[in-house]
Structure 1
Amino acid sequence: MSWWRKRKTETASTEPIVEDQDLPTAPTLPRADAILLGLAGGVVTAVGMYWLRGFLAPVLLALVLTVCVHPLRRALERHGVNRGLATGSVIAAVFVLLAAFVTALIVALAQFATLLPQFAPQIEEIGKAIGSWLKSVGFDQSQVQAVTAGFDPGRLIGAVGGILGSVANITFGLVVILTCLILMAVDASALSAISKQVALRRPHLVAAMSQFAGGVRKYMVATTGLGIVQGLLNWAALVILQVPGALLWGLLSFLCSFIPNIGYFIAIIPPLVFGLLTGGWGVFVAILVVYGVVNSVVQSIIQPRVVGNAVALSQTITFVSVLFWAVVIGPIGAILAVPLTLLVRTILIDSDPRARWWRPLIGDLRDTQPYIAEETAALKRTRQAAKAAKRGTAPTPPAPEGTRDG
């Protein structure tokens, strides 16, 4: 029996490793059938995620957090900290930060609920003014009522009360996040060995998941840091301008920094309204300028330089992903839209060499830079030729490579 086990082990160790490209190809369906089946599968998956969003949202949040803090746990282990102690320390730190943020958000919302009745008459007047303007431009009564209903202070107070009243949901979400953080962090301790084993037969999948983890980590860490800066600057400006609820609007600005394209507009509307009610048009314009400058500098100048090509998603894909994930799993989906879209791209495109031609279509232009440079040079030569034709002179042809100076 021992001889047979030894022989079996030697045979298994000498078997050739089959990589992705060597696997037998399955019979392919007609393109139309494949597209329809893919769309049907996507719809079924999205509907299933929608119905399970109550626990799926905190699980996905815990997954993203685990990906982000994994290098920190590894760093503690390299400095001699016990594996269990390093894992527990990182998990505890992340959970304390989450709990502190949720507590601050609840306090801010409670202040907003007490602040809102003080401005109920002014809010109603704004609603009436907007309703009159809508009627003057041709909207019918039902459409005007649907818009002005949003300016009913009673509805706003009820919405805030509903958020504050869902303490059970918040507690359940925190418990799920904490449990998933613990279990995922424990499982991540064997991630290196698992990756080596899977890489023997699926090297492209392991490489794609590693690239996904690095990209998500870089994006989330940079966005979190810049979001804190953005929230603090906006909060300080609102305090100086004496806008009510400055803490809540600062927290809202921080959260909306994770929502590409539309987060800025969500974050600026409430402080604009309360600034107009308390300080008039001068405060309104000041808030508009401050938010515009801070958002432009942080998200348009600093963030692209810090994040670089870690995301590689087109603006259209990013915007649609925010809407899609917000509908499927709620507000957390809008915050995690970019990491979740990267995860889907990793599974469907990056892990399959035959599907990598999709990457330029969804925003990754690294492989197309030579073609873009060639097209730019050709366009420049065409313009030079057109200008030379207008002057009646022939354009100077480029010198051969061997005869150019340098």
Structure 2
Amino acid sequence: MSLLEKTGKMNSQGVVKALLVTASLFVVFAGLKIAANIVVPFLLSIFIAIICNPLIVKAAKYKIPKPVAIVGIIATIMMLVLLLGGLVGQSAQELSELLPQYKAQLKEEFVWLTSRLAEFNIHISSDVLIEYLDPSAAMGFAASLLSGLGGVMANLLLIIITVIFMLFEAPSLPRKIHHALDDPDMKMNQIDRFLSSVNNYLAIKTLVSIATGVCVSLMLWLFGLEFYLLWGVLAFLLNYIPNIGSMIAAVPAVSLAALQLGLGPAGAIGLGYVTINMVMGNVIEPKYLGKGLGLSTLVVFLSLIFWGWLFGTVGMLLSVPLTMIIKIALENSEEGRWFSILLSNES
């Protein structure tokens, strides 16, 4: 067989392999889409278990029995979720009821604006402005986003039970993964690096997100903005989406501030959002996460669309952590390292 024939055969084999991989991915994603009602609570369970595991390890250093530590941490989380869920649910319902009032107030302001513009021979319909510049739409999106998450949390009991079992199984998980990957002697260090990186990333990201939500709620409370707790929870959730998440979280709060407090305070609140997210994103996170775990802005945006389409609201909120886990896994694989470079923000 000539060299040309061998090259052609290798190329055809590569094309067939690529087609098979692509077809397999489509089948897997279609299955996940159909089974979203089962997969989403399971993903949330994994997410919560990874975040809680460092606390369990910390409690073991203080000689606290593992069952006691798990029960204490889970009880604390359930109490916070129920408390915040009740307050946020009430705020979201009140906001939905007030949206027509805000829209009517906005229309009055746009009528005044169009009349002023008409004096300069600039004729724009107030209805057109409302259609394209409707802050109530952003506030409605925030309320529906939190409502969608609340719908998933209806399976709270199932999620909590799954988390408890996962936390009990956590110590044996690395050895099971080593055995599953045919490494009974625990020699594949990349597996341990992957598990450690995912654990550290999610734990630190969660702490930074909590700090962001607290700072936003405190700032809005000082300004006297309504539903400040709702916007703080939204900032906490969307902080898992770097770059664009903070901008999305700021839009409904700044829009409401423009209607309730005026343009001056709204501008100050917008500046406060920028300051908080610059400090958290450019000072705090790099200090603890390092710069080697970054995703490009394009990948962040595309992952938001993809995971949101696949798993709905929870997929949007977990889009970057899920993509980050895939990237970390690829970084620890010789075959997939090239793709992790494409996902990164390195030039």
TM class, shorter-length:
0.7 to 0.9
Separation in structure 1 between the aligned mates of residue 100 and residue 78 of structure 2, nearest angstrom: 34
Separation in structure 2 between the aligned mates of residue 160 and residue 240 of structure 1, nearest angstrom: 22
Q: 1:59 to 1:123 in 2, by over 3 A?
A: farther
Structure 1 unmatched ranges of 5 or more: 1-26, 366-371, 373-406
1:49-78 deviation digits (Å, cap 9, x = unpaired): 222222312211111221222232233334
1:138-159 deviation digits (Å, cap 9, x = unpaired): 9xx9xx69x8289497998799
**2:38: which partner in 1?**
55
Q: 1:250 to 1:52 in 2, by over 3 A?
A: same
Query: 1:3-402 alignment to 2 at 5 Å?
Result: 30-125=13-108, 148=131, 151=134, 169-170=151-152, 172-195=154-177, 197-198=179-180, 201=183, 207-309=189-291, 311-345=293-327, 349-350=330-331, 352-363=333-344
Separation in structure 1 between the aligned mates of residue 112 and residue 306 of structure 2, nearest angstrom: 33
Please say if residues 215 and 311 of structure 1, whose CA atoms lie closer than 8 Å, have aligned partners that are also in contact.
Answer: no
1:241 partner letter: F
Please say if residues 246 and 277 of structure 2, whose CA atoms lie closer than 8 Å, have aligned partners that are also in contact.
Answer: yes
Separation in structure 2 between the aligned mates of residue 36 and residue 130 of structure 1, nearest angstrom: 57
Query: What secondary structure is seen at the aligned counterpart in 2 of 1:353?
Result: coil
1:93 partner letter: T
Separation in structure 1 between the aligned mates of residue 137 and residue 343 of structure 2, nearest angstrom: 44
Percent identity over the alignment is 24
Once the two structures are TM-superposed, the CA of residue 124 in structure 1 deviates from its matched residue by 3.9
Aligned positions, number: 332
Separation in structure 1 between the aligned mates of residue 213 and residue 203 of structure 2, nearest angstrom: 15
**2:5: which partner in 1?**
none
- Structure 2 length normalisation: TM-score? 0.78
Larger gyration radius, structure 1 or structure 2: 1
1:356 partner letter: R
Once the two structures are TM-superposed, the CA of residue 325 in structure 1 deviates from its matched residue by 1.1
1:219-264 deviation digits (Å, cap 9, x = unpaired): 2222222222222222222223222222211221111111122212
Once the two structures are TM-superposed, the CA of residue 265 in structure 1 deviates from its matched residue by 1.8
Please say if residues 128 and 148 of structure 1, whose CA atoms lie closer than 8 Å, have aligned partners that are also in contact.
Answer: no
Separation in structure 1 between the aligned mates of residue 187 and residue 154 of structure 2, nearest angstrom: 33
Q: 1:40 to 1:68 in 2, by over 3 A?
A: same
1:301-341 deviation digits (Å, cap 9, x = unpaired): 22122211462433332332222112211122222223212
Separation in structure 2 between the aligned mates of residue 299 and residue 73 of structure 1, nearest angstrom: 27
Please say if residues 116 and 157 of structure 1, whose CA atoms lie closer than 8 Å, have aligned partners that are also in contact.
Answer: yes
- Structure 1 length normalisation: TM-score? 0.68
Structure 2 unmatched ranges of 5 or more: 1-9
Report the more deviating stretch, 253-262 or 100-109: 100-109
Q: 1:235 to 1:352 in 2, by over 3 A?
A: closer
RMSD between aligned residues: 4.0
Separation in structure 2 between the aligned mates of residue 75 and residue 285 of structure 1, nearest angstrom: 43
Report the more deviating stretch, 210-219 or 178-187: 210-219
Please say if residues 205 and 351 of structure 1, whose CA atoms lie closer than 8 Å, have aligned partners that are also in contact.
Answer: no
Query: What secondary structure is seen at the aligned counterpart in 2 of 1:354?
Result: coil
Separation in structure 2 between the aligned mates of residue 244 and residue 48 of structure 1, nearest angstrom: 42
1:168-206 deviation digits (Å, cap 9, x = unpaired): x34533123112212222322432543564575378996
